[in-house]
Chains A and B, each alone.
Chain A
Amino acid sequence: MQSPTAGLGEPVAAAIRIVRPREGRRLADSKGEKPVDNASLVGLSRLVALEREIDVVANNIANLNTAGFKSDGVVFQEYVDETASSGDPTSTDSQVSFVYDVATWIDLGQGAMERTGNALDVAIDGSGFLAVQTPAGERYTRNGALQVNANGELVTSAGFEVLGASGPITLQPTDHDITISPDGTISVREGDNVKTESQRGRLRMVGFEQPELLLKEGSGTFMAPVDVTPQVDTKSRLVQGTLEKSNVHGVVEMTRMIDVTRSYTQVANMLVKEAELQQAAINKLAEVPA
């Protein structure tokens, strides 16, 4: 069993053991004898799961420097297949357990805060998300590297419009000295006016009761499934001039990678041994005494 690395977040799926005797039947011999290749099938299930895990690790490492990126973990489960014992076909006391990857979970822990000094960089201190408008609908992001487009609208680096609490946020060409307060209020100095600030709106920060249900959509955005509704987040604070880096821990991912490759090689070796064993058995059994 592979458990997510401790201390970096809680795995969302807690169920460890699922017993589905009927569905699993086709993998085993229902007549009573265990099939000879059971060990190979168990090994194979592990190899497939490990391939998935290295894919997830590779994606985490590829995004080591992606602002606002949240790392993924894999949850494995045991798949218990009950086979009938040879003596009594009705009893199900003999079990074979396979492994399968039941879920990937998103580690929503805070990434490191990096000071950039850029007025349009905001980091979210807390569990909130910024709401952005994409062609596919409203999405949520933790990447606060904001920009202004040619129309003066506040956008993300992918060009998605950042949503304000009351409509989109548009800056005027004469605006300067942009200040983003911890609650997301954007104020500017307008033209010659250096004494008073004008407000340009407030960034819409949202939170989720079950953020683990969010779906990653690439470009740093998360999608909320139909039954997950965003709520206004008043607890999170914005820090101007700072960016939230990726929360991928290089050392953790490297350790996971070593773990995956070692396990993979071991299981592969086991499969080879198993094949040799079967070969030997066939040879042995084929020896007809003269």
Chain B
Amino acid sequence: MRALNTAATGMMAQELNVQVISNNIANMRTTGYKRQRAEFQDLLYEHVSRVGTQTSSDGNILAAGIELGSGVKAAGTPRLMTQGELVRTGKDYDVAIRGDGFFKILLPDGRTAYSRDGSFELDAQGRLVTVQGNVVQPGITIPQNASSISINAQGQVSVTLPGSNTPSQVGQIELAKFVNKAGLEGIGDNLYLETPASGTPQNGTPATDGFGNLQQGSLEQANVEAVSEISELIAAQRAYEMNAKVISAADQMLSATANLMR
């Protein structure tokens, strides 16, 4: 009976849905996290009798055929790259992006990763690094004796050095942009990698060409909305239960068939 398999595809799809939702909820407080959404599509149809088939020699056609679907499949779990809320932290090296860009982060293996998480720190050499210690690209070194660090909306990093009244610029934060942000590959640690689907990164300075402004002393929260995730979770759970019921209904019918012969 086809219904058994069809319902099984439904259960698998809803299982994936719950997985995605639970990951979103788990990352509700993760800086720069972008929520994912499970998208589904119907599977192929068997056209048992095709609509439009001629049913008589005088040209009558079938007004509706018989189509039997075979269930559902997951089409993808794209990330929804909408802007998260900015929360004021007051910390000098916390930077939030208001717009489309990504910070460029150098991984230990030499690859460049992209991130929306701007909770930076300084390492022993005074370089601007992520919490994991990966260097922000292009490298920016803050002199040891510098005071009052300021990062403006355009990404210029300025410090005041002893014996000087005017701030001097020590670096410029660059951002990267993708034509298809949803196509980036998440690798954990709030980092994304470029993929053939995302397109190649376009580099630029903040506050130009739609790269987004930087805001010092703020962090971008996850764009997860608890209420919508919970309602999605309820819908997914109920859909899972209904698919399970279909399996037991199909089973009941099969057992009735088996009992035909006594």
Contact = CB atoms under 8 A, between A and B. Distances in A.
Interface of A: 12-13, 47, 50-52, 54-59, 61-67, 69, 72, 75, 101-106, 116-119, 143, 145, 147-152, 157-158, 171-177, 189-192, 212-213, 215-220, 225-227, 250, 253-254, 257-258, 260-261, 264-265, 268-269, 271-272, 275
Interface stretch (B64-72, B121-129, B135-143, B145-153): B64-72
A191 B39 CA distance: 30
Interface residues of B, number: 74
B51 interface: yes
B89 to A, nearest CB: 25
Given A66-B41, A103-B64, A219-B42, A58 B246 contact: yes
Contacts of B9: 62
11 contacts: A55-B2, A58-B2, A65-B40, A104-B67, A148-B179, A150-B183, A157-B78, A176-B99, A218-B45, A254-B242, A260-B249
A271 B262 CA distance: 11
Interface stretch (B22-30, B111-119, B166-174, B197-205): B197-205
Contact of A225 (B49, B51, B80, B210): B51
Contact of A215 (B51, B99, B180, B245): B51
A65 B242 contact: no
A272 B196 CA distance: 61
A90 B65 CA distance: 35
B107 interface: no
A56 to B, nearest CB: 7
Contact of B69 (A63, A253, A265): A63
B82 A118 contact: yes
A114 B99 CA distance: 25
Contact of B52 (A105, A118, A171, A227): A227
Contacts, number: 231
Interface stretch (B157-165, B214-222, B250-258): B250-258
B260 interface: yes
Interface string B33-61: 00001011111110111111000000000
Contacts of B187: none
A212 B65 CA distance: 10
B67 A62 contact: no
A264 B242 contact: no
Nearest to A245: B235
A275 B260 CA distance: 9
Contacts of A58: 2-4, 6-7, 10, 71, 243, 246, 250
Closest 5 CB pairs of A and B: A62-B10, A59-B69, A58-B3, A103-B64, A58-B6
B76 interface: yes
Classify the secondary structure of A's interface with B. mixed
A268 B252 CA distance: 11
B179 A215 contact: no
Given A101-B66, A213-B52, A250-B238, A67 B40 contact: yes
A129 B4 CA distance: 31
A67 B68 contact: no
Contact of A57 (B3, B45, B177, B179): B3
Interface in B175-201: 177-180, 182-183, 196-199
A90 B171 CA distance: 103
Contacts of B67: 72, 104, 106, 215-216
B259 A268 contact: yes
A251 B34 CA distance: 34
Given A51-B253, A250-B238, A257-B246, A149 B1 contact: no
Given A63-B10, A64-B239, A52 B66 contact: yes
B40 A55 contact: no
Given A13-B64, A101-B66, A213 B51 contact: yes
